[in-house]
Amino acid sequence: MGLFGKVFGKEDKKDSCCCDMEIVEVPEGEEAPAACECDSSGADAVVLTVLGPGCKRCHQLNDNAQAAASKAGGAVSVEYVTDPVAIAEAGIMATPALLVNGKVVSQGKVLAQSEIEELL
């Protein structure tokens, strides 16, 4: 626990994942508990991220991404980010933008549903 943690009562959580699940050692011979649902180590887990300020073109890209994700099944999730700081941190210069698993694949263009399906 750092100095500020001691002062403000916050504890370090070194042995926890993003959803604050506790990591427990399992004795030999016992079955391990279920894995964290937020674990991104799934075989084909794909995250589409639409970045934009909320304009009509950004909403259209989000709709197209949602349609492509629903057609692909449950292995694809879609996030829609409108925070200008997050958009700048991603290095986006033109919106709307589309990221696949954190990698920029399109900027300044509304991709059609079929184009998004090809990227998956």
Q: Give the global pTM.
A: 0.63
Contacts of 48 by beta carbon, 8 Å cutoff, 6+ apart:
65, 68, 69, 76, 77, 78, 79, 98, 99, 100, 116
Q: What is the pLDDT of residues 44-84, one digit of tens each?
A: 688 999 999 999 999 999 999 999 998 887 788 999 999 99
Structural contact between residues 99 and 90, judged by C-beta atoms closer than 8 angstroms: yes
Question: Tokens in use for 82?
Answer: 């409108």
Q: What is the pLDDT of residues 94-112, one digit of tens each?
A: 999 999 998 999 999 999 9
What's the CATH architecture for 46-119? Answer: 3-Layer(aba) Sandwich (3.40)
